Amino acid sequence: MKQGSAKFRRKRPPRASRAGNAGIIASFGIALVGVAIGGLSAYVSELGAAASAAKTSAVNAPMRDDPLFDGAFRQREEIVQRVLAGVETQRPTLERLTAPRLSLSRPQKPKIIIIFDDMGLDRPAFEKTVALPGPITLSILPYAKDADALASSARAQGREVMLHLPMEPEGKSDPGPKALRTDMTGAAFVEALKWNLARFDGYAAVNNHMGSKLTADEAAMKTVLAYLNHQDLFFVDSVTTGDTVVRRAAQRVGANVFSRDVFLDAEINNKAAIRKQLALVERIARETGYAVAIGHPRKETLEVLGPWLTSAPERGFELAPVTALVELKKQRKQETLMSLAPSLRL
């Protein structure tokens, strides 16, 4: 990981002792005071832990918990959905996000964030992914063998690292050991969350592994997001279901969240489909200023991504790590504030 992103690195939380877990169960009323244990209250009573949101400034507060900036988010989402739906075949000119009347920032190239999920289960695939050109981000499964060593290796080679948090899906797919599930008690849920977050150090953010069922459960997601917010971590919704409530849960607890725009390799072993998805990524980035894409360390994906990553800057794009989303959010908020201000009179 580069020095510039060091402030986003997450140190491993202390491992919870058996006595500590027993204390959570025995002292439910006292536990409401802490934000982490406030997450437990959110899961049990669906109240959430919104107190931490009041401590942030106007610029640093989460973009999506304030009606002032919510319109900009919805506007971008509408554009993304039009691109994904192929609206360009019906409308030759797709509107871009409204430009502010005054901006202190220099014109920037559209940014593309590429995240590789499911890292850590296949060591050769891990090595090939780390060797790709450009500032890609690796999301490592916490139950992967030697996850800590893999994360350290990736960071040593200038890669940003995320934690790929296992969550309950719809259906019978197995998300892996210690996955967060909707049928857990509050104490068991928080214990599993802590276990996952303590598997390795230095991650900048968290995203969901599977989770189509859990990310549709608002009480569960308020628990997760309140805890992550307390740990100074942000969350990237992989959007594994159209019923996701991640953004709504984030609004309730004042957490920092972003969303995946495009899955690169949902069609397995299909290079043509991957190239088509990359074309969507480029268009979304041009129309909205940035795009977030998720892929997997599969042979076909790596073979397509290598040349694409090399040539993307020549086509006017800036490849960026996942922490660039935080700075982008701050810039957008500043520009939104200026666009709402009265016009300057000379």
Q: What is the CATH number of the domain that holds 336?
A: 3.20.20.370
Positive or negative: CA dihedral 302, 313, 258, 275 = negative
Residue 77 is assigned to a structural domain of this protein? no
- pLDDT at position 9: 61
User: CA distances (Å), 176 to each of 40, 118, 165, 214, 297, in order?
Assistant: 22, 11, 10, 14, 18
Residue 84 is assigned to a structural domain of this protein? no
Structure tokens at 283: 């268009």
Residue 159 is assigned to a structural domain of this protein? yes
Residue with tokens 């849920």: 189
Task: Please count the structural domains in the chain.
Answer: 1
Residue 220 is assigned to a structural domain of this protein? yes
Residue 28 is assigned to a structural domain of this protein? yes
Q: Which domain does 301 fall in, by range?
A: 16-60+108-340
User: CA distances (Å), 143 to each of 33, 120, 176, 284, in order?
Assistant: 30, 9, 8, 33
- Is the distance from CB of 121 to CB of 296 less than 8 angstroms? no
Residue 270 is assigned to a structural domain of this protein? yes
Would you call 223 helix, strand, or coil by DSSP? Answer: helix
Which of 150, 116, 118, 121 lies closest to 134, judged by CA? 116
Residue 7 is assigned to a structural domain of this protein? no
- pLDDT at position 54: 29
Cα separation, 130 vs 126, whole angstroms: 6
Cα separation, 280 vs 260, whole angstroms: 13
HSE-CB at 334 with a 13 A cutoff on CA atoms is 12
Average pLDDT of adjacent 10-residue blocks, the chain of 346 residues: 49 46 36 43 40 30 44 78 69 35 60 98 98 97 98 97 98 97 97 98 96 98 98 97 97 96 96 98 97 98 98 98 94 75 57
- pLDDT at position 11: 56
Residue 218 is assigned to a structural domain of this protein? yes
Positive or negative: CA dihedral 59, 61, 62, 66 = negative
Cα separation, 264 vs 151, whole angstroms: 23
- Is the distance from CB of 253 to CB of 205 less than 8 angstroms? no
Question: Cβ neighbours of residue 150 under 8 Å, at least 6 residues apart?
Answer: 119, 120, 123, 126, 140, 144, 200
DSSP 267: S
Cα separation, 332 vs 225, whole angstroms: 22
